[in-house]
Structure 1
Amino acid sequence: MSRYEALATKPPELHGIEPSIRAAFVLCPKFTLLPYAAFVDSLRHAADEADYSRQIYCKWKIVSEDRKTPIAASCGSLVMPDEEFGDAGDLNFVVVVGGLLPACLELSEAARSFIRGAYESGVAIVGLCTGSFILADMGLLAGRRCTVHHEHQTAFRALFPDVESVSDEMYVSDRGILTCPGGTSALDLAFHLIDTHCGKARAVKGLTSLLIEQHRSTSRFPHRPYGQLAACGNRKVQAAVEIMERHIATPYPISVLANKVGCSERELCRLFMKYGSDSPGDTWRNIRLAHGHWLLLNSDRGIAQIANECGFSDAAHFTRWFKSTFKETPDAFRRRRRIIK
Structure 2
Amino acid sequence: MTMPDHPLHIGFILAPQFTLAPFANFIDALRLAADDQDLSRQIRIKWKVMNHNWIPVKASCGVEISPTSALLDPAEFDYIVIVGGLIHSGKRTPNELIQYLKRAAQAKAGLIGICTGSFILARAGLMDGKRCCVSWFHYKQFIEEFPHLDTHFEEVYIADRDRITCAGGTGVIHLASYLIERHLSRFDAAKSLRIMLEDSNMSLQSQQLQPLPPNIRESSNPHVKKAMLYIEQHMSSPLTSKAIAERLNLSVRHLERLFIAETGETLANFSKHLRLNRASEMLKLSPHPINDIAIECGFSNSTHFARVFKQTYSVTPSTYRHQYQTKQATPQPNNHKM
Deviation at 1:113, TM superposition (A): 1.5
Note closer, same or farther for the CA distance 1:107–1:258 as it changes in structure 2 (3 Å cut): closer
Rounded to whole Å, the distance in 2 between the matches of 1:207 and 1:47 is 13
Task: Output the TM-score relative to the length of structure 2.
Answer: 0.65
Q: Report how many residues are paired.
A: 253
15-24 or 83-92, larger mean C-alpha shift: 15-24
Task: Find the partner of 1:190 among 176, 198, 202.
Answer: 176
Task: Find the partner of 2:157 among 161, 168, 171.
Answer: 171
Q: Does structure 2 retain, via aligned residues, the 8 Å contact 1:104–1:134?
A: no
RMSD after superposition? 3.6
1:153 aligned partner, one-letter code? Y
Rounded to whole Å, the distance in 1 between the matches of 2:282 and 2:76 is 58
Note closer, same or farther for the CA distance 1:204–1:280 as it changes in structure 2 (3 Å cut): farther
Q: Does structure 1 retain, via aligned residues, the 8 Å contact 2:12–2:83?
A: yes
Unaligned runs of 5+ in 2: 213-225, 238-269, 309-338
Q: Does structure 1 retain, via aligned residues, the 8 Å contact 2:3–2:44?
A: no
Counterpart of 2:43 in structure 1 is: 56
Task: Find the partner of 2:28 among 22, 38, 41.
Answer: 41
Counterpart of 2:196 in structure 1 is: 210
Q: Does structure 1 retain, via aligned residues, the 8 Å contact 2:12–2:48?
A: yes
Counterpart of 2:233 in structure 1 is: 228
Deviation at 1:258, TM superposition (A): 8.2
How far does the alpha carbon of each residue in 1:294-320 deviate from its partner, in whole angstroms, 9 at most, with x for none? xxxxxxxxxxxxxxxxxxxxxxxxxxx
Q: Does structure 1 retain, via aligned residues, the 8 Å contact 2:12–2:81?
A: yes
2:209 aligned partner, one-letter code? R
1:1-341 alignment runs, 5 A limit: 18-67=5-54, 69-103=55-89, 106-214=92-200, 216=203, 217-221=206-210, 222=212, 223=226, 224-230=229-235, 260=284, 268=294, 272-274=298-300
Counterpart of 1:297 in structure 2 is: none
Q: Does structure 2 retain, via aligned residues, the 8 Å contact 1:148–1:166?
A: yes
Deviation at 1:227, TM superposition (A): 2.7
Deviation at 1:102, TM superposition (A): 3.1
SS in 1 for 2:75: coil
Rounded to whole Å, the distance in 2 between the matches of 1:66 and 1:218 is 37
SS in 1 for 2:164: strand
Task: Output the TM-score relative to the length of structure 1.
Answer: 0.65
Rounded to whole Å, the distance in 2 between the matches of 1:188 and 1:79 is 23
Counterpart of 1:240 in structure 2 is: none
SS in 2 for 1:89: helix
Deviation at 1:230, TM superposition (A): 4.7
Q: Does structure 2 retain, via aligned residues, the 8 Å contact 1:43–1:190?
A: yes
Counterpart of 1:310 in structure 2 is: none
Note closer, same or farther for the CA distance 1:198–1:272 as it changes in structure 2 (3 Å cut): same
Rounded to whole Å, the distance in 2 between the matches of 1:256 and 1:84 is 52
Note closer, same or farther for the CA distance 1:258–1:213 as it changes in structure 2 (3 Å cut): closer
Rounded to whole Å, the distance in 2 between the matches of 1:204 and 1:254 is 39
1:171 aligned partner, one-letter code? Y
Note closer, same or farther for the CA distance 1:256–1:197 as it changes in structure 2 (3 Å cut): closer
Rounded to whole Å, the distance in 1 between the matches of 2:80 and 2:114 is 11
Deviation at 1:209, TM superposition (A): 2.1
Note closer, same or farther for the CA distance 1:141–1:269 as it changes in structure 2 (3 Å cut): closer
Rounded to whole Å, the distance in 1 between the matches of 2:147 and 2:46 is 36
SS in 2 for 1:83: coil
Deviation at 1:148, TM superposition (A): 1.0
